[in-house]
Structure 1
């Protein structure tokens, strides 16, 4: 195992305390994300045995079979297939979509040919990969993910009252034609069912409206939120969707795209709960702290609630307009009964339907089970548990002890190690009875 240093990201929506406390940092600006990354734009540093530092992407290219394993290297190339982050938001992020694979490749090549610098603010495609992502809540986490059923979206929009843009979106959901919106549909829309085309038109109306349409919207949404809270017959999902839109409108008072959140599934995650977001699914994180893992991509297409560049045409070409419930990727590694004194499983595995990544979130302590005295919260990777592959282990609370084929060490809160595939089996347990919590990112091989 090798010590790994995260890359801090300072964005305006970040927390002023949460990540700073976890990683022992003092900053005068919001700290939004901490990346454990092999992405070429922001690689983490590895502190190797003689004290030298080397970028993770460079270390992988130097010895891909040892660092990520022959199988991963064969499938994905000499790269870390995932990007692992901790994220903490105190105001809503941008309304966004991650491009699907063929759009990412086409967009990347267009910008390369046009000579757009890789780090330019106007650049939309920083790599050629589709971006699928998953977030696991470490604290209560609020988000909007994917589209609700059209009937629910229409009820949420109707709750706002006689706002001109809300009425226009309702007419779109009811089937009113919109030649401007139809001209921006992707070619695949020729095979869409009518419900998907109506959803596209309503979303298009929200994200292409002039800023003047957003004036006074915050007050209307606040009134709708109060009405929803006071009327027992209003479905809770509609009330939560209105609450999401209300928070977004407070943060971006003149941005009419906040109305798009009335069409989207409200997501409320308790600590340990998760949601998976495939490429193409619209989403917005509202507030909270979580662990985020994704394809090794930095592609983001934004449509609203941001000071950064909006790329609505490219976003609409990747937009998944199918109404569907958010995807829960959670499965348990061990049943709760393995530790009778525990009220939750000691480790939970989050395994979404992708080949690049998975995540485990667990706790260690002095729980004991069986005559052999095995720790109920011990998690292993290799032939007896989690698979061998390139892994990042982060201690997020207390103290955790870990051992692999290269050695053994204790991790304090905020410390992390990179465990190469060639290091073999990884054991995670308590350190002299101390309690702790950890996050383990890995490929699913």
Structure 2
């Protein structure tokens, strides 16, 4: 197995303290949003097998069958199909959705055919892959996930007592669920921006005054004044995760992370369609093709107690599990049929002969035996084949 050196991404929404606190280092004063573990071309992990440092992506490209295993290559191609992260939100991320696999392939091929540069701000599909995600809280974690029932959204908006929101309230009460949610989200995102900014200001002031269930939405306007995403966010469920709880985000489900530190595991893709809370491009017509307009309670995942606590999801590109290693406990021998990344988040456990500190990780190629021992918490990212 290989100890990994990983890149920390300094996105503006990142916390200045959460990742340094996990790693046991002094904050730099700059935001530290995500630490990437994997073979994503934007920031691949690095390792050294005795011939000098190289990237995990280069190691996999040199011999995919050896590093990933024949079954993984046959199922997903010669690439590590997941990206593992530590995510630290100090401010809200953009409100967004991800396409399903069919939509991603069609969108990518269309933009390639039309010659839209891959790095263009208006580009929606960076690759032909879908991007389901799983976030597992390491600290209390807040987010938005999925639509409220139209009646509940109407009640929330009506409680603000803002005149310019009343047409949205009427639409939510008058139409069947799918039509109501579609019409209101479309209206919010296509309204005159000057008028919307006034509505957002009034709504945020009312939310701050009311507190309670409105408090999370009041905070959004501080980072995104006048952004229609503030109103769109009120259509969504507000979710609070406790440490060890997780949330799965499938295709078409609008979501945003607001605050907290977590472990995130996702399919290895950059495909994001934004709804708001961002200065970046919002392609409303394409967004409306991808959003699934149905309400639902966000499913909070709590693994059952076992030697390996698994967070079950309906995708094969990744599988997340957690080991809580107690002092004096028996070593845990891990399956060796798939590639895996092991991440320590607490204590000083050992992966094979390597002792891990919080924030440190290792890559275990397919076919190589891995054993966990000692005391601490280790998350395991792998694939399902």
Cα distance in 2 between the residues matched to 1:25 and 1:51: 31
1:380 is displaced (CA, Å) by 3.1
Q: Aligned residue for 1:411?
A: 356
Aligned to 1:423: 368
Verify: 1:298 aligned to 2:270, yes or no. yes
State the 1:302 CA deviation.
Answer: 0.8
- The residue number in structure 1 matching 2:342 is 393
* Count of equivalent residues: 383
**Does residue 321 of structure 2 align to residue 381 of structure 1?**
no
Of stretches 52-61 and 409-418 in structure 1, the one that deviates more from structure 2 is 52-61
1:365 aligns with 2:326: yes
Separation in structure 1 between the aligned mates of residue 17 and residue 121 of structure 2, nearest angstrom: 27
Matches within 5 A, 1:4-19: 4-19=4-19
The aligned counterpart of 1:441 is 381
| Runs of 4+ deviating beyond 4 Å | none
Q: Which residue number corresponds to residue 293 of structure 2?
A: 321
1:102 aligns with 102
- Contact 1:37/1:43, CA 8 A, preserved across alignment: yes
Larger radius of gyration: 1
Q: Deviations over 1:303-355 (max 9, x none)?
A: 21112222222211100111111123433251xxxxxxxxxxx7532121111
Q: How far apart, CA to CA, are the structure 1 residues paired with 2:343 and 2:51?
A: 20
- Aligned partner of 2:190 in structure 1 is 208
> In 2 relative to 1, CA 45–311 (structure 1 residues): closer, same or farther, beyond 3 Å?
farther
Please, what TM-score do these two structures have when normalized by structure 1? 0.81
The counterpart of 2:303, out of the listed 331, 344, 348, is 331
Q: Deviations over 1:243-300 (max 9, x none)?
A: 3321212221111221112211111000100000001100011111111111111111
Conserved? CA contact 1:390–1:419, under 8 Å: yes
1:331 aligned counterpart, secondary structure: coil
Partner of 1:145: 145
Distance 2:172 2:350 in 1: 55
Q: Are the equivalent residues in 1 in contact too, given 2:151–2:173 (CA < 8 A)?
A: no
Distance 1:259 1:281 in 2: 17
Pick closer, same or farther for the CA change 1:162–1:226 going to 2, 3 Å.
closer
The aligned counterpart of 1:348 is: 309
Q: Where do 5+ consecutive residues of structure 2 fail to align?
A: none
Q: CA deviation at 1:437?
A: 2.1
Indicate which of 256, 259, 280 corresponds to 1:308.
280
User: Structure 1 residues 333 and 61, CA, compared in 2 at 3 Å: closer, same or farther?
Assistant: farther
State how 1:271-282 maps to structure 2 within 5 Å: 271-282=243-254
Change (3 A) 1:245 1:228: closer
Could you tell me how far apart the structure 2 residues matched to 1:3 and 1:117 are?
36
Gaps of 5+ in 1: 177-193, 230-238, 335-345, 369-373
CA distance in 2, matches of 1:141, 1:393: 22
Aligned to 1:78: 78
CA distances 1:6-44 after superposition (whole Å, capped 9, x unpaired): 222111100111113334475442111111122233322
CA distance in 2, matches of 1:118, 1:54: 25
Following superposition, the deviation at residue 409 of structure 1 comes to 1.5
Q: For the structure 1 residues 25 and 4, does the alpha-carbon distance in structure 2 shift closer, same or farther, using more than 3 Å as the test?
A: farther
Partners of 1:282 and 1:34 lie apart in 2 by 23
Q: Is the 8 A contact 1:393 1:440 kept in 2?
A: yes
**Matched-pair contact (CA < 8 Å) for 1:144–1:244:** no
Structure 1 residue 216: Cα displacement: 5.7
* 2:35 is equivalent to residue 31 of structure 1: no
Q: Does 1:174 align with 2:173?
A: yes
TM-score (norm 2): 0.93
Q: Distance in 2 between matches of 1:119 and 1:22?
A: 33
| Alpha-carbon contact 1:38-1:57 (below 8 Å) kept | yes
